[in-house]
Amino acid sequence: MTEERDLHPLEKKLLTYLENNGKSSDADIIRESDLPDEGSFRRAAQWLLSRELIIEESREEKVFVELGPLGTQNLEVGSSPELAMLRAVAGGSNSLQEIQQDTSFDRGRWGSAFGALIKGGLLKKADGKILFDGKPEETVFQKVWDLVYLPLSDGAEIRFTDLPENIAEIVESRSPRRGKSRAEFILNGIVTSILDITAEGREALKKSLETVTIGVMTPEILAEGSWKDARFRRYQVDIPPSRIHTGRLHPYRQFLDTVRKRFIGLGFSEMRGSLAENEFWNNDALFMPQFHPARDIHDVYYLEEGRSVPPPSDELEKRVAAAHENGGDTGSRGWGYRFSRRQSLQAILRSQGTSLSARTLGSNPDIPGKYFAIARCFRYDQVDATHLPDFFQVEGIVLGEKINLRYLLGLLKLLAEEIAGASDYKFLPAYFPFTEPSVEMHIKHPRLGWIEVGGAGLFRPEVCLPLGIDVPVIAWGLGLDRMAMLALGLNDIRDLITPDLSRLRNMKIQPDRLLTGREGGANA
């Protein structure tokens, strides 16, 4: 027999329901009892289970199928892209380009559907044409439409385990655990518990009903004098309280702050600048030709006309323009084109933290000197597990007479171990318009494998000399978001900006141990 304790009003309501209705599911109790809400039920059930006044007879997880954003779009169109493509081919269309003229789905979704149908053997390619030998209404995609889409459109509940095996495989493969904004289906697991009252619970409920117990003293009770014949409910200090969520820094914010403190502790000076930049500092000063593909609208965000960033000095602009056109005084032949001042002053969103390094080199820096920046950058990119359209780079330069590639590789090794906590990393030869020699650093993620985290190298004379620097300069620009994935134990870069407060609250960060190489890190 458990120690006798007073019942909380919520406990009394739950025991009363079970006494009157017998064993019941948590869903029925939440819906039909006098408990005010689900949170109150969960607290009362936890208390009573810990005191063995109720028992959990059984526990079952039911997985239901719901439509994700892509599935909802399919329902609005009236077809999945696979089914629509099969109907188009059966109706005479014989090329992907022709089918993509239909704007019901974007080109990417048509392409994904084509790949799935080719892989599944429903479509074949011969002599540049697409062939289909069956009937669309007899394919598995029609069955998915009939058994999943149509019932869901009518408001029915679909249990995943009730689906035929081949249909269930398709649904599961199209309901990713991450990246649900691009999911066709979502599998939603609901755990159902069956609770029942115990003999001790009945005895405790009977005693509580025989005695008037006061939990809160009110002016009305004092005025009536009813407290004289009642018993005050005892405080139970061992009952788990409701969880209180206190304010805290965002886990990624803590990571960035810790990186900043580490660089400052190593004697680096911090570079800062506006998110809005002009092409001169973002590209031209870095010897990137004005016809470079990275300047295309698909890679750089241009600000609307009329927006401007203060221009560089005329003398500096002339030296940089000369380096582009004919090499100027750098000993180079340049790029051999006519430099456009108008394009040079075009306002954009900063696409690389290296623009801050260029500004620093053009502002009479200390020699020897070392500088760093944690720069937010913007590039058009397809969002996936390792890409975001805006991201943070840790950017840095070190300049001095004795600086060389060996110094750079040693510094990159330190960053890989102490920022990302990487045990496996490698350096590969690379090409960048503004460095020579150049390297790319890759780190090995336990789940995603090798991922590139950024580039580095020695700035070319065409960068340094026009900016007034005549000593060697090493530079690096590394993706902090990708390094944070490894340091924080994440498998998807989107978790760094997730709106899921529960996941953020459960992400454990230890800033004092975070940047300590292979022995440090955090767990999520």
Look at residue 309 and tell me if it is in a domain: no
Tell me which DSSP letter residue 332 carries. Answer: S
Which residue type, as a one-letter code, is found at position 498?
A: T
369: in domain:
yes
Q: Tell me, what CATH number does 196's domain have?
A: 1.10.10.10
- pLDDT grade, residue 457 (50/70/90)? very high
Q: Half-sphere exposure of 139 toward its Cβ, with a 13 Å CA cutoff?
A: 22
Higher pLDDT, 334 or 248: 334
pLDDT at 522: 39
Helix (H) or strand (E) holding 429: strand 425-432
- Answer yes or no: is 524 within a domain: no
* Least confident interval from 140-144, 374-378, 389-393: 389-393
Domain end call among 128, 145, 174: 174
Structural domain count, the chain: 3
Query: Which range of residues forms the domain containing residue 433?
Result: 252-275+351-514
pLDDT, tens only, 336-355: 889 988 888 888 889 889 99
Identify whether residues 164 and 80 lie together within a single domain. yes
Q: Are residues 228 and 165 in the same domain?
A: no
| pLDDT at position 1 over 70 | no
Do 395 and 267 share a structural domain?
yes
Residue 323 within any structural domain of the chain: no
In a domain, 247, yes or no: no
**Domain CATH number, residue 420:** 3.30.930.10
pLDDT the model gives residue 103: 86
Q: What is the mean pLDDT of residues 438-460?
A: 88
| CATH number of the domain encompassing residue 131 | 1.10.10
pLDDT band at 280 (very low <50, low <70, confident <90, very high): very high
Pick the closest to residue 329 from 152, 142, 200, 461 (CA basis): 461
**Three-class SS state of 371:** strand
Domain match, 356 and 489 both: yes
Same domain, 498 and 418: yes
Per-residue pLDDT band for 239 (boundaries 50, 70, 90) equals low
In angstroms, the Cα distances linking 356 to 5, 436, 458 are: 67, 19, 16
Beta-strand pair 213-214/185-197: unpaired
CA distance between the termini of the chain: 40
Same domain, 459 and 357: yes
> Under 8 Å CB-to-CB from 444, ≥6 apart: which residues?
422, 423, 424, 425, 450, 451
Whole-angstrom distance, CA of residue 233 vs CA of residue 253: 46
Encode pLDDT of 378-394 as tens digits.
887 767 777 778 889 89
Residue 332 belongs to some domain of the structure? no
Do 371 and 510 belong to one domain? yes
Q: Are residues 392 and 470 in the same domain?
A: yes
Any domain includes 311: no
User: Which residue is associated with the tokens 């203060």?
Assistant: 310
3-class SS at 33? coil
Q: Look at residue 179 in the predicted model and tell me its pLDDT.
A: 54
Domain contains 243: no
Question: If you average pLDDT over each of 118-132, 211-225, 428-442, 488-502, which comes out highest?
Answer: 428-442
Cis status, amide bond into 437, omega within 30 of 0:
yes
Residue 397 has pLDDT above 90, yes or no: yes
Residues 260 and 141 in one domain: no
Mean pLDDT of 434-441: 91
- Residue, of 353 and 236, whose pLDDT is higher: 353
**pLDDT in the model for residue 310:** 86
Report pLDDT for 320: 92
| Same-domain check for residues 138 and 73 | yes
The residue with tokens 């059966």 is 90
- 506 with 482, same domain: the answer is yes
Mean pLDDT of the chain: 84
Burial class (CB in 10 A: 0-12, 13-18, 19+), 18: buried
Q: How confident is the model at residue 2 (pLDDT cuts 50, 70, 90)?
A: very low
Q: Please write the tens of the pLDDT for every residue from 490-523.
A: 777 888 877 777 777 777 665 444 554 444 443 3
Confidence bin at 177 (pLDDT 50/70/90): low
pLDDT of residue 398: 93
Q: Which of the listed residues 126, 146, 174 is the one where a domain comes to its end?
A: 174
For the purposes of burial, counting CB atoms within 10 Å of the CB of 345, is it exposed (0-12), middle (13-18) or buried (19 or more)? middle
How much is the pLDDT for 212? 62
Same domain, 269 and 401: yes
Neighbour tally for 429: CB within 10 Å: 9
The predicted-structure confidence for 5-61, as pLDDT tens digits, reads as follows 678 888 889 999 999 999 998 889 999 988 988 888 988 898 899 888 999 988 888
